[in-house]
Every structure is written in structure tokens, then in C-alpha cells.
Structure 1
Amino acid sequence: MPALDLRKIWRMGLKELRSLARDPVLVLLILYTFTFAIHAVAHGVRTELRDVAVAVVDEDRSALSRRIAGAFLPPYFQPPRMMDARQADAEMDAGRITFALRIPPGFEADLLAGRVPQAQLLVDATAMSVAGAGTRQAAAILRDETAAFLGRGAAAGAPAIAASVRASFNPNLESAWFVAVMQVVNNVTILAVILSGAAVIRERERGTIEHLMTLPLRPAEVMLAKIWANGLVIVAAAVLSLELVVRGSLGVGLAGSSAFFALGAAVYLFAACALGVMLSTVATTMPQFGLLAIPVFVVMNLLSGGVTPLEAMPPLLADAMRLSPSTHFTTFAKATLFRGAGLEAVWPELAAMAAAGAIFFAAALARFRKTMAAQR
């Protein structure tokens, strides 16, 4: 079997880059995906408790109830809105408040009499990202304020051992740090599948695939040219996004090297672009390819471990997703960028991505040969 001609692969790749540069829609998609999309999602998707709307139904109207209401402070909560129970129900039904604290009559008197009064906290659990944290924070406010009111501060009942938690990465636990990096990782997958697949569909729709068959080119050389050209564009865009948007604009303190991340991204893109080419040999038009590709990269992104840990998935599903290169790329990206891990820690992920790439490339090449043969 003759060896692949690297000069032909290089020249075909340059042709792919020129073709991509002449497609303004795809160029704008790349620019948008790695700039505004990351910035908007990082600031728009928050999982920590911040500026949450809360209502207080004060039926006790005592010094203690006013003290509790005044303890709901920024940045966790908005200034509490004082209203009656009917108004609180209506506001919560309309989605304008997330928490409603009802302090019943005689709350302070029962506390001073040595009884255990109860307050009711209504939670809009559809706000999943803040419901749990807000409930814990509200419970802490009730506990601390009643203890302080009775003169039993922290010193009076301090435990013998106190836990002190320090976050080594992202010390302020800003969700934008995590969301921005994961958005870059997810966008690499999306663009890899779209650009590589669109490159093949574009050849077929424009009729240029017949011209390729008249050239002394082997299907493997055509595929490798499309993979390296589109992969190079995505790696460059991802690295620039990490430096200019994630580090620069968002101020995320990444512990790892962008150059090492680019190495892992190149290995992953070999697999993802090969997958895109394989899907393009199944579809015959861009609309068909889009309908086929969307569920593929949506599943790859949602179940890669970036949104939901693999440990939280059913065992069978978790084992199946460990066969996906996106799962290993997510693990690689988090270890490299968040913890500054080196090659000794992430080489299994690189090996798994390379193995998946070889399998996808072999399958895509078999399909691509059939496609080119059918055009003869």
C-alpha cells in the first residue's frame, strides 16, 4: 500500500482554508462561538446565590422579626419585600420572587417564653440552581439572628472543632469561571462536527467532489486535509478565546497552560472532525446533516461530565459515555486548565481520545470511499 503524500494533504488543506475564508456565514459562526457566546453564557448562567428576590410576611411585627428581615442582605438577596401572605403567593406564582419567609404572630413571645416557634419558608424550587443554597442561607439567618437576639452568640455555643473550607481554585466560587471554560470545551465539539461535515457537504452540493475524483488523490488524503485544516482553525480560535475572553475579559485565573490545552484539543479534534466527516457521508444535504449532527453533539456535550458528573449518571450510561472522546476531553480540559495538571496526569485521556479518533477515522474513511465511488 503506497504511503500518503503529505504534500497533497498540505495543499488540499490550504484549499480548505481558502474555501472556509470565502464562507462568511461559517466565519461569523466561529467568531461568535468563541467570543460573544462564551461571554454571554458565563455572565448569564449563574449557579451561586446572588441577588435573589425574597419576600417577608411579618405577622409578628416584633423587634426580632424586623431583625430577621433586615438580615437578608446583598449580594445574596435583594432587599426583602414586605407583604402579606396573599401577595406573597401571587408574586411567587408569577415568578417574581424565589423565597417567601412567613413569621407567624407570637414568634418573639414564644421564643422568650422558652418555646420553639416555627417560621415557614416557601421556596420556588423551579429555580433549581439557587433553591438549595438559598434555603440553607435562610435557615442560617434564622438560627443566627434568634441566637443573637437571645444573647447566645457564636462564642457561647461555639463547637470544640470548627471546619474551615478553602477553595484552591476559584476561591470566590464564581460560576462564571467554570461556565466559561466549559463553554469553550463544548463549542470545540460543536464546531468540529459542523465545520468538518460542512466541508464534505459543500463539495457535494457545489459539484466539486467530481473534480477531486479526477485528481491523483486518495480518499484518506482528502479526509486528512479537511481534518487538519478545520482542526487548525478551531484550535487557534479556542486558544485565542481562552486568552482574550476567558483570561482577559472575564478575568478567570486559569492554572494551566493554553499551549498544553491546544495539544490535547488537537488530539480531540482528530476524533471530532473524523466524526463530522462520517456523519456527512450519511447525510446528502446540509439540512439533513444539521438534523443528524445536532443530537450527536448535544448528547456529547450534556453527558461528557461537564454538566453532570459521570458518578451521578446510571452506571450503564456512565460506562457508555466513557467511550466518547468528548468525555475524555472534558476531563483533560478540567485537569489542565483548572488544576494545572501535566502530561503524567492526563496521558490516559490523550490516549483514549487518540484511540477514539482512530476508530472514527477508519469508519469515516470506509464511508467516504463508498461516497466517492458512488459519484464515479
Structure 2
Amino acid sequence: MFSRLWPVMRKEFIHIRRDPRTLVVMFIAPLMQLILLGYAATTDVRDVPLAVFDQDRTSASRDLVEAFVASGQFAVAHYTGSDRELAALIDGGRARAGLIIPPGYAADVQGRRGAQVVFVLDGSDPSIAGSSLSAARLIGQAKSVSIQTERRGATAPLLEVRTRVWYNPDMASAVFMIPGLIGLVLQLQATLLTSSAIVRERERGTIEQLIITPIRSFELILGKILPYALVALLITLEVLILGTFWFGVPIKGDVGLLLAISCLFLLSTLSIGLLISTVANTQQEAFLLTFLTLLPSVFLSGFIYPVAAMPAALQFISGIIPLTYYLIVVRGIVIKGVDASTLLPQIGALALFGAILIVAATARFRKRLD
């Protein structure tokens, strides 16, 4: 039996040896999975950006803020002058929580009447919101006990932290995951379809027919990627409709704005597919390379695990992944209902990535045979 089996096995080993690039990709993918999961797969978030609206401005109110910072769970990112400013910071993602200290806080505590502060939380990411909510309540309880100890004779709690969860009060995971799936599906479909389409032309030998036509290289690229861009936009609408009516995720923002920014994101993902097509020789190799580019996007973009919980090196890599910015956009529009002015940094980043990648893809792709 082995004498008949060995020739077949030997033939396959020869094929593997003749395609070293595919072999390298096959071995690199598990290593990337191990490294990314090892470092990125954590929901233990520290130093959550906190916006503080201190209307009391006394030593007692500063002590309360210091108690939040000393816990290690929060870091003061902004001091605000109004409720509206605090809400704008949370809408834009520059703060994930807000602490509102009312005027007369110190007098209420010292007069033994008890003080109340408001802790506002961005519930769009349940993994961050859950731990932050528990931490805020524990900090409030600990601070209340500390004040009671200092003022002997007080029996009632002297500090109450009232918590409010915005955007996703129930902290349902579907509200967080469904919008993120739009970005992930867009990247996978656009990249894979574009890379496979051009490689398929090369495999079938029909690329020569395109080369002998008077069409320019740039026109050939546009003709190849625009149909898949339209298909990807239809997929976006499909996921939005299914998420709304099947999973009950409401769309609070402007769908037209979301589709417009999706076009910017598609410029990046389609360009990545075009770049892959200039490297891959077969559709199998194109699929493996697409999967290899998808891994960092899944684990480092904030799709599953919060970027704030990752090591600094992985946070830097996350900053050069277009999906990172698109997830902020799609979750901001769908969950929070923010407008374009709030998303200007993300829109600018997506436009920059799209321009760089399309230029790089056009430079590598030539209207000629390899």
C-alpha cells in the first residue's frame, strides 16, 4: 500500500516546494493568530478616558476626582465647562465616561445631608462599559465609607454615585457587534472579490485580451473595482436592514452619511485587494493573502477587543488599519447618531489611507503581463 501511496505524496510535496510563497503564508498565519490573540485578546481596560464637569471646584470635589484616578480604572482626559461639552466629548469617542459634580457638593458632604454625583458612561462598547460601571460604583461606596469614617456619628451614606448608561442602556452585545460586522464584511468581501477577479483573469489567460485593447491602466483598474464597490454597498444595506429588523439594532444616525463614508473605506479595501492581485499568482494564494490581511483587522481594530486594553505597540499598529477608523464611524452613526462634524478625524484618516493605497496599487499594477 505504501509503495502506491508514496508516489502521490511525493508529487504533492513537489507542488508544495514549487510554491514557497503559499507555504510561507500558511506558516505565518498561525503565528500571527497566536501573537495577536496572546496580546490583544483581553477586555481588562485601564485608564478609561474620563471627562469631568466639576461645578463645585473645592478640595472635596478634587478629592473625589483623585479617587477615580487613583483606582487605575480611569484617567482624566478633559475638564469641561458644561454638560453639552461633556456630551460632545463622549459622542466623539474622546471620552468614554463623564463625572458630573454638582455645585454645593462639599457643603452637602460636610453638612451630613449626603451628596449626589452623576457618572455618565458610553455603553456602546459593553466590555468597557461593564467594568467601568462596576468600578465607578465601588469607588463611590469606598469614598462614602471614607467620609463616614472621617465624620464620626454619620450613619447614612454621605456620597451616592448615580450612574447613567448612554446609547446602549442594556449594554447588549448585539448593539455593539452588528455595526462592527458591517466593516468586517465590507473589508473581507471587497478585498477578496477584487484580488480574486484579477488573478482569475490571469489564470484563464484572458488578461491578454484586456492588454491589447486601447484602454488605459487606470481605466482598467476602475472598470475592475467599481462593480465590486457597488456590490459592497448593497451588502452594507443588507447588513443594516437585517441588523435592524432581525436583531433589533436601531439606526440613530444618517444612513446617507454612513454610505458616503463607506465609499471612502471601500477605496482602501479595494486597493488592498488590487495590491494582493499584483502579488498572488493563483486564486488560492489570493485567498490566503486576504486572510492574512484580515487577521490584524479583526483583532487590532477594536472589532472584538478594546484597543485601549492592548499594549502600546499593538495600539500603534491599530492606528494604521483603516478598519479601526471605520468602526468608530459606523458605531458612532448607528449607535450614537453623531453627525459628520464629530467624525472629521476618522473621515480624514480614511481619505488619507484611500489615497495612499490607491496610488500604491496603481503603481504596482501595470497593463502588461508579469
The change in CA–CA distance for 1:209 and 1:164 in structure 2 (over 3 A counts) is same
Aligned amino acid, residue 175 of structure 2: W
Tell me how far 1:194 sits from its aligned partner.
Answer: 0.5
**Rounded Cα–Cα distance in structure 1 between residues aligned with 2:226 and 2:296:** 24
5+ residue gaps, structure 2: 1-42, 44-126, 139-153
* Aligned position for 1:180: 178
Tell me how far 1:345 sits from its aligned partner.
Answer: 1.1
The change in CA–CA distance for 1:301 and 1:159 in structure 2 (over 3 A counts) is same
Conserved? CA contact 2:208–2:369, under 8 Å: no
Q: Paired residue for 1:214, among 206, 212, 215?
A: 212
Tell me if 1:291 matches 2:308: no
**Rounded Cα–Cα distance in structure 1 between residues aligned with 2:226 and 2:162:** 49
- The TM-score normalised by the length of structure 2 is 0.56
Between 250-259 and 311-320, the greater mean CA deviation after superposition: 311-320
1:363 aligns to what SS in structure 2? helix
Tell me if 1:230 matches 2:225: no
2:163 aligns to what SS in structure 1? coil
* Aligned position for 2:338: 341
Q: CA RMSD in A?
A: 2.3
Aligned amino acid, residue 181 of structure 1: P
Look at both structures and tell me which one has the larger radius of gyration over its CA atoms: 1
Q: Deviations over 1:36-85 (max 9, x none)?
A: xxxxxxxxxxx9xxxxxxxxxxxxxxxxxxxxxxxxxxxxxxxxxxxxxx
Aligned amino acid, residue 322 of structure 2: P
1:316-331 to structure 2, matched below 5 A, reads: 316-331=313-328
**Rounded Cα–Cα distance in structure 1 between residues aligned with 2:155 and 2:168:** 32
Conserved? CA contact 1:329–1:349, under 8 Å: yes
* Aligned position for 2:249: 252
**Rounded Cα–Cα distance in structure 2 between residues aligned with 1:336 and 1:168:** 14
1:374 aligns to what SS in structure 2? coil
1:92-107 to structure 2, matched below 5 A, reads: none
Aligned amino acid, residue 211 of structure 1: Q
Aligned amino acid, residue 248 of structure 2: G
* Aligned position for 1:271: 268
2:199 aligns to what SS in structure 1? helix
Aligned amino acid, residue 361 of structure 1: I
**Rounded Cα–Cα distance in structure 1 between residues aligned with 2:155 and 2:339:** 46
Aligned amino acid, residue 275 of structure 1: I
The structure in which a higher percent of residues are strand is: 2
**Rounded Cα–Cα distance in structure 2 between residues aligned with 1:295 and 1:158:** 59
- The TM-score normalised by the length of structure 1 is 0.56
Tell me how far 1:178 sits from its aligned partner.
Answer: 1.0
Identity level (%)? 31
* Aligned position for 1:374: 369
Conserved? CA contact 2:199–2:281, under 8 Å: yes
2:159 aligns to what SS in structure 1? coil
**Rounded Cα–Cα distance in structure 2 between residues aligned with 1:164 and 1:324:** 37
**Rounded Cα–Cα distance in structure 1 between residues aligned with 2:159 and 2:224:** 61
1:164-203 to structure 2, matched below 5 A, reads: 164-203=162-201
* Aligned position for 2:358: 361
Tell me how far 1:171 sits from its aligned partner.
Answer: 1.6
* Aligned position for 2:159: 161
The change in CA–CA distance for 1:162 and 1:300 in structure 2 (over 3 A counts) is same
Tell me how far 1:276 sits from its aligned partner.
Answer: 0.5
2:258 aligns to what SS in structure 1? helix
Aligned amino acid, residue 245 of structure 2: G
Conserved? CA contact 1:193–1:273, under 8 Å: yes
Aligned amino acid, residue 347 of structure 1: L
Across the two proteins, how many residue pairs are aligned to each other?
223
1:305 aligns to what SS in structure 2? coil
Conserved? CA contact 2:275–2:364, under 8 Å: yes
**Rounded Cα–Cα distance in structure 2 between residues aligned with 1:249 and 1:326:** 25
Tell me how far 1:275 sits from its aligned partner.
Answer: 0.6
Tell me how far 1:267 sits from its aligned partner.
Answer: 0.6
* Aligned position for 1:242: 240
**Rounded Cα–Cα distance in structure 2 between residues aligned with 1:327 and 1:288:** 26
Conserved? CA contact 1:194–1:293, under 8 Å: yes
Aligned amino acid, residue 183 of structure 1: L
* Aligned position for 1:92: none
1:167 aligns to what SS in structure 2? strand
Conserved? CA contact 1:227–1:270, under 8 Å: no
Aligned amino acid, residue 292 of structure 1: L
Q: Deviations over 1:194-221 (max 9, x none)?
A: 1111111121122221110111111111
1:255 aligns to what SS in structure 2? coil
Conserved? CA contact 1:242–1:258, under 8 Å: no
